[in-house]
Amino acid sequence: MPHPTLPTGPTRQGDRYEILDVLRGFALLGVLIANLVELGGEGVLATADQLAALPSAAMDEQTNWLLNLFIFDKANTLFAILFGAGFWIMLERLSARGAAFEQIYLRRIALLTAFGFLHLLGWFAWDILHVYGLMAFVLLLSRKMPVRTMFWAGLLLMIFARPMIEGFIGQNAYLSAQMDLAYTDAAVLGR
């Protein structure tokens, strides 16, 4: 039996989880700080020699250590968790209304993925929106998995995903060459 088409739109103010909005704000602030440091740092806009020659080099090193401890990767992790929480909330609310969850969700993640790839290919090479879009499809497909299976899959991904991706880039001669070219001192000075 087809689901009735119900109007969709922004969540009404009374239906929002304000704590999630606050956490999203902290996560986005952390992502902004991390991106500003990374994109203004070694290998992107400055060489290691240029950064070492700055009068603030010692303080920059201490600040980077603190940022690494408190912000880097934590902000992205929090944002990813909130992405999953948003998926669950949308699933629960649309299902409770009898709306076609999969149709609405697929439309949204298709747009996210398309926008992410346009952004990646046309403007910002370090963009991750396409990754969120692609992983949203995985999230949709895995939502009915048993909890135990999700736990083990998540644990395996947590341990092995990054080494696998880095290994893939290292084994792919074209990607590896492109990464090497992008981070040479000559490329940095050219930027």
* Residue 145 · residue 153 · CB < 8 Å: yes
Whether pTM exceeds 0.85: no
Reading the chain (191 residues) residue by residue, the pLDDT tens digits are 444 555 556 666 667 788 998 999 999 999 899 888 887 777 777 888 888 888 988 998 899 899 988 888 888 889 888 988 988 898 888 888 888 888 988 999 999 999 988 887 877 766 788 888 888 998 888 888 999 998 998 899 888 888 887 777 667 666 666 666 666 767 766 66
- Exposed e or buried b per residue across 106-121, where buried means at least 16 C-beta atoms within 10 angstroms of its C-beta: eeebeebbeebeeebe
Backbone dihedral region for residue 75 (phi beyond 0: left; psi -120 to 50: alpha; all else: beta): alpha
CA atoms of 128 and 107, how far apart (whole Å): 19
CA atoms of 36 and 90, how far apart (whole Å): 32
